[in-house]
Structure 1
Amino acid sequence: MTVTIYDVAREAGVSMATVSRVVNNNPNVKPQTRKKVFEAIERLGYRPNAVARGLASKKTTTVGVVIPDISNAIFAEVARGIEDIANMYHYNIILCNADKKKEKEIRVINTLLEKQVDGLLFMGGAVTDEHIQAFKTANVPIVLCATTDEQGTIPSVDIDHEAAAFDAVSSLIAQGHKSIAMISGTLQDPANGYARFQGYKRALETAGLAYDEELVRVGNYRYESGIEAMKYFLELNNKPTAVFAATDEMAIGAIHAIQDFGLKVPDDISVISVDNSRMASMVRPQLTTVAQPMYDIGAVSMRLLTKLMKKENVDQSKVVLPHELISRQSVIQA
């Protein structure tokens, strides 16, 4: 049979109100009484009913997190930052994978709101009108994590993706590269796709280099799409001397395609990307990349959400964290 608060109170010889105060860490309980209640809890194996406590307090101390691709190491690092800060502030996490599908994202958002979460973190991906509509029906705080909405009306934590791409491509240009291809993410994605594409174009324009549509292929962020895009570039009469990939995973696909073609990285073609996932230092040659502070993005997002949930003062609801170019062995001078 389920052990109730009444059973604990009887076992400890105190009132149910006293047991409730002990369970909820109320300081107004004598140490001797607190010890007696904890001993009774341990003997009986009592576990407080979180649902009942949530109904009484109208708080579940639970946060919903929508993650676009749980198999992607980048998002796993963000989730780790979220979890660490959530633990620090005594919140539990419900993590939901949405497979980068808008319909599933909307469904997951609504499901989490139905579960009475105290707040919601939406991680990655495009924020469409349908997302905005779902967010508007929520009566809890929402923070966008590693993405932003076009209007900038929803609190968010991210990097400047356009500037990150600009810095990556500019570093190639500084090494003397003039024919630079790009493996882009989908241009419907405002961050990893469109913003990084715009950064690529701006770097070319700033250096006085012509933009060539033939040197751009759109991938799906995955390793295989990096291979396919690179195969296309390798068949061109005038092969690029360098490739900028929007993600590490596509960049690694490009490196392997170059090597399979019988060419060398970086001797024949240099490769650079954005992310700085763990895979960037595992591939050979090690990948030069612009680092996103993924753990910090998760941690800062969760901290911002805790402030909003507790109705604390928030100085800045749109947080842009710094990025950093990490030079390794996949880029050399042209």
Structure 2
Amino acid sequence: MAASIKDVAKEAGVSIATVSRVLNNIDVVNEETKKKVLEAIKKLQYRPNIVARSLKTQRTSTIGMIIPDISSQFYPEIVRGAEDVANIYNYNIMLCNTDLDLDKEMEYLKVLREKMVDGILYMSNSLQPKIVELIEQLQIPMVLIENIDDQKKFPSVTIDNESAAYDAVNYLVQKGNKKIAYIGHKNNEGNVNSFRYLGYKKALKENNMKLDEDLIYCEGLKVEDGYKGIIKIIEKQKIDAVFCGSDECAMGAINALRERNIKVPEDIDVVGFNDVYEASVFYPKLTTIAQPMYDMGSVGMRMLIKIINKQKLGQSHYILPYQLVERDSCKK
């Protein structure tokens, strides 16, 4: 039979109220008494009744995480960073995968509200007006990871995606490349991928290179998108480099080129984005923009826990540093 709070109080020789104060981190219990209570909890393997406790405190010690695509190699490291911090502060995580589906995103937001989560870490490729409106209605503590809303209403953690893409394309230009293709996303929803496309365009313009729609393929960021995209591009134009909006996309492009006896980097330079683990073991090893994925998760979670506990944030919008990692998919 599971131990009760009454059993803990009896073992420690204190009142039930004292045990409750220790469990709720109320600083009126002296260290010696607190130590006795914690030792009794450990000895009896006591676990608080979360349902009863949440009804009283209006807290569940649970944080929701909404991610766009669990199959992507990008998000697991963010989740790991967030979970490590959540564990330090004794929060549980409820993970929701939306498959880049707007209706799913909206439904999960409502479900997490019904489950009385204390806050939400929200990851999405875009923040459509419907989502922003719903978040405001639900009034749940929220931190955005990977994205930022237009009016900066919600705290966020991201990198400067436009500058990162700009640097990647400039790097390709400095290698002497004249025809640089782009595979990824572009739209008018202000999402992170559209920022990468803007960086691509900016770099071309500043290097007096014409924007050629035949060199652009914007259908997605998965392996198959890179594979299909590069085939479609090289059927129309001869290129000497390609910038991809994700590492998976870059790997798909390289596979398609290899099947056609086009060598990377001897014939075509390829740059990816994110620096997932596979980028360092794929052949050829990918030159890519490295995002601090673990830090994005851990910083976002620390911000959210501060908001939940009504503590002041050092800053509301963190733009973390990125790095261009040079490997073997570009000419030396």
What is the TM-score of this pair, normalised by structure 2?
A: 0.92
Aligned residue in 2 for 1:255: 254
| C-alpha contact 1:18 1:29 (8 A) present in aligned 2 | no
Aligned residue in 1 for 2:280: 281
| C-alpha contact 1:126 1:188 (8 A) present in aligned 2 | no
Pick closer, same or farther for the CA change 1:327–1:191 going to 2, 3 Å: farther
Aligned residue in 2 for 1:74: 74
Question: What is the one-letter code of the residue matched to 1:269?
Answer: I
| C-alpha displacement of 1:331 | 0.8
Please say if 1:312 is aligned against 2:305.
no
Please say if 1:107 is aligned against 2:107.
yes
Runs of at least 5 residues in structure 2 that lack an aligned partner in the other structure: none
Query: How far does the alpha carbon of each residue in 1:124-164 deviate from its partner, in whole angstroms, 9 at most, with x for none?
Result: 32111111111112233211111111222211110111111
Aligned residue in 2 for 1:149: 149
Pick closer, same or farther for the CA change 1:37–1:231 going to 2, 3 Å: closer
| C-alpha displacement of 1:276 | 0.8
| C-alpha displacement of 1:190 | 3.0
Aligned residue in 2 for 1:325: 324
| C-alpha displacement of 1:18 | 3.3
Please say if 1:300 is aligned against 2:299.
yes
Question: What is the one-letter code of the residue matched to 2:76?
Answer: A
Q: Aligned partners of 1:161 and 1:224: how far apart in 2?
A: 23
Aligned residue in 1 for 2:267: 268
Query: How far does the alpha carbon of each residue in 1:272-314 deviate from its partner, in whole angstroms, 9 at most, with x for none?
Result: 0211111111111111001111111111111221222222222
| C-alpha displacement of 1:14 | 4.7
Pick closer, same or farther for the CA change 1:214–1:23 going to 2, 3 Å: same
| C-alpha contact 1:22 1:29 (8 A) present in aligned 2 | no
Q: Aligned partners of 2:275 and 2:264: how far apart in 1?
A: 18
| C-alpha contact 1:64 1:121 (8 A) present in aligned 2 | yes
Please say if 1:245 is aligned against 2:247.
no
| C-alpha displacement of 1:247 | 0.5
Question: What is the one-letter code of the residue matched to 2:285?
Answer: Q
Q: Aligned partners of 1:310 and 1:37: how far apart in 2?
A: 23
Q: Aligned partners of 1:2 and 1:111: how far apart in 2?
A: 30
How many residue pairs get aligned? The number is 331
Q: Aligned partners of 1:40 and 1:251: how far apart in 2?
A: 52
Query: How far does the alpha carbon of each residue in 1:7-46 deviate from its partner, in whole angstroms, 9 at most, with x for none?
Result: 5445666532233234445562674785478447744x54
| C-alpha contact 2:12 2:36 (8 A) present in aligned 1 | no
Query: How far does the alpha carbon of each residue in 1:244-268 deviate from its partner, in whole angstroms, 9 at most, with x for none?
Result: 1010000000011000001110001
Pick closer, same or farther for the CA change 1:40–1:316 going to 2, 3 Å: closer
| C-alpha contact 1:158 1:297 (8 A) present in aligned 2 | yes
Aligned residue in 2 for 1:121: 121
Task: State the identity as a percent.
Answer: 41
- Structure 2 counterpart SS, 1:185: coil
Pick closer, same or farther for the CA change 1:311–1:267 going to 2, 3 Å: same
- Structure 1 counterpart SS, 2:319: strand
Aligned residue in 1 for 2:48: 48
| C-alpha displacement of 1:5 | 2.7
- Structure 2 counterpart SS, 1:121: strand
Question: What is the one-letter code of the residue matched to 2:320?
Answer: L
Runs of at least 5 residues in structure 1 that lack an aligned partner in the other structure: none
Q: Aligned partners of 1:323 and 1:172: how far apart in 2?
A: 17
| C-alpha contact 1:271 1:331 (8 A) present in aligned 2 | yes
| C-alpha contact 2:146 2:192 (8 A) present in aligned 1 | no
| C-alpha contact 1:186 1:220 (8 A) present in aligned 2 | no
